[in-house]
Amino acid sequence: MNFAGGHFPVAVIGGGQAGLSASFCLRERGIEHIVLEAHQLAHDWRSRRWDSFCLVTPNWQCSLPGFPYRGQDPDGFMRRDAVVSYLEAYAAHFRPPVVEGVRVTRLRRTGTGMYQLDTTAGELTAEQVVVATGAYHTPSTPRIAERLPGAVHQLHSADYRSPDALPAGAVLVVGSGQSGAQIAEDLHLAGRQVHLAVGSAPRVARRYRGRDCVAWLADMGHYAKTIDEFSDAEGVRKRVNHYVTGRDGGRDIDLRAFAVQGMRLYGRLTGIVGGRVEFDADLKRNLDAADAVAESIKDAIDRHIEARGIDAPEEPQYVPVWAPDPVCQPRRLELAAAGITSVIWSTGFRADYRWIEVPVFDGRGYPTHWRGVTSAPGLYFLGLPWQHTWGSGRLEAVGRDAAYLAERIDAAGRRTDVCGALTGSAPALPAGPLMS
């Protein structure tokens, strides 16, 4: 597609599940558009997931617009390559106008109210723009990593692929969110000696009382709850995901059980001095807090079952199989003495919108919006975590957000046809606070 110097009613930036969903919903409304993808479709799924990665949500929650999961294992969990295939099949299903290998390097609003997009393949303009790049752009590695000895191989979780890709020896994983806990499990099952710095991430049981907890929570309306229903919306957006796994059909990740099997657990990493790593004394507190969250979810399921008279098998409460000794719990780790040759930083990602020169960001550089609609006429975001509901940044509900934005884009386009370019004030936002 030759687009340099061209003009489009709508430009969608990003070719992942968010960008594809936006394209589908725009096409349904007959809105001409272009989708610009810096790499190739589903790039992050291909390049930022390890070899054994699988979804932690059941396949039936994969429901992009017009393309629900139709496979033979709705209660299973797709592995990385299957997710890529699902997205490729989705694109083949409706053939979106995607241009791959084109990065948008600058987005600004012109004096005429149009948007100018500078790209690695030339410039173009658009009346409206959907930024569908998600919010996990740059791997976040703490500066303290610079203090590790040069002989230690270190990498971010985004670059981890498999145990065999690491040097021989023990591995220190820093962070126990979804990625850290699953990578620690991957290494542990491969027979590697794993040392895990445990943070404050909560956990959830895979199944309870005869069903996957995700299925119970879906029935309870948990995933339909919107961000504006929370009194601490900002806090909700910052919450770390619960650790659990879909591996081998799905199971709990119980760090205490790993400890019984030989994994070494520590509190939060606090310092590095030479070849020595230091930890907080918060391991017991972190494990107890993670278990408390898992049990509170079970309690909510119990109340739901009782209130509706559902016939479900009883299940005993979780009994911890291991607990750290508060007196003897190690606070220091000599890397060389422990045979540690690799450190994996499972410390999350940062959003990077520096290429967008439109004043729609808060003091932390995060877009200010309501359901993806910003104060700048014709500028939208899609695929952000908790953009509107729990599933906004996932395969489960990004399509509903895309449909909502397509409706707004369609309405704004009709106003443009009548009144000219989008140069006036932003369209009125629905009742509700602007969320950042």
Q: pLDDT per residue over 75-101, tens digit each?
A: 999 999 999 999 999 999 999 999 999
Question: What is residue 150's three-state secondary structure?
Answer: coil
To the nearest 10°, report the CA torsion of 160, 164, 169, 170: 50
What is the pLDDT averaged over residues 415-421?
A: 60
Domain boundaries, the chain: 7-137+351-419, 140-345
Nearest to 64 by CA among 391, 385, 289, 425: 391
Structure tokens at 312: 């479900």
**Distance between the two ends of the chain, CA-based, in angstroms?**
35
For the entire predicted model, the pTM comes to: 0.92
What is the pLDDT averaged over residues 44-54? 96
Torsions phi, psi for 332 (to 5 deg): -135, 150
Report, as an integer, the average pLDDT of 270-295: 97
Average pLDDT over residues 308-314: 98
Q: At what angle do helices 80-94 and 17-28 cross, to 10 degrees?
A: 20
Q: Do domains 7-137+351-419 and 140-345 have the same CATH topology?
A: yes
Q: Identify the pLDDT of residue 421.
A: 54
**Per-residue pLDDT tens for 245-277?**
999 999 999 999 999 999 999 999 999 998 999
Distance of CA 130 to the CA centre of its chain: 19
d(CA 33, CA 126): 9
Instruction: For residue 119, give Cα distances in angstroms to 96, 110, 423.
Output: 19, 16, 23
Split at pLDDT 50, 70, 90, the class of 427 is very low
Tell me the average pLDDT across 194-223: 97
Distance (Å, whole) CA 329 – CA 313: 38
Token readout for 75 is: 């209660």
Helix (H) or strand (E) holding 123: strand 122-131
Of 106, 80, 88, 141, nearest to 13 by C-alpha is: 106
Integer Cα distance of 120 and 127 in angstroms? 20
Q: How many CA atoms lie within 13 A of 424 on its CB side?
A: 7
Query: What tokens does 73 get?
Result: 């294992």
- 158: its two tokens: 């985004």
- Cα distance between residue 417 and residue 412, in whole Å: 9
pLDDT at 433: 39
Average confidence score pLDDT of the chain: 93
pLDDT at res. 418: 54
Domain 140-345 architecture: 3-Layer(bba) Sandwich (3.50)
Residue 145, pLDDT score: 97
Which architecture characterizes domain 7-137+351-419 according to CATH? 3-Layer(bba) Sandwich (3.50)
Query: What pLDDT score does 417 carry?
Result: 61
Confidence of residue 436 (pLDDT cuts 50, 70, 90): very low
* Mean pLDDT within 299-318: 97
CB 136 within 8 A of CB 128: no
Q: pLDDT value at position 235?
A: 83
Which amino acid does the sequence have at 223? Y
pLDDT digits (tens, 9 = 90+) for 23-41: 999 999 999 999 999 999 9
Q: For residue 107, which of 121, 86, 124 has the smallest C-alpha distance? A: 124
Contact 433, 370 (CB under 8 A): yes
pLDDT at 199: 96
In a 3-state reduction of DSSP, which class is residue 239? coil
- What pLDDT, on the 0 to 100 scale, is given for residue 370? 95
At 387, is the secondary structure helix, strand, or coil?
coil
CA distances from 333 to 145, 279, 330, 396 (A): 15, 8, 7, 41
Taking only the tens place, the pLDDT of each residue in 356-387 is: 999 999 998 999 999 999 999 999 999 999 99
Going by C-beta distance under 8 Å and a sequence separation of 6 or more, which residues neighbour residue 303?
A: none
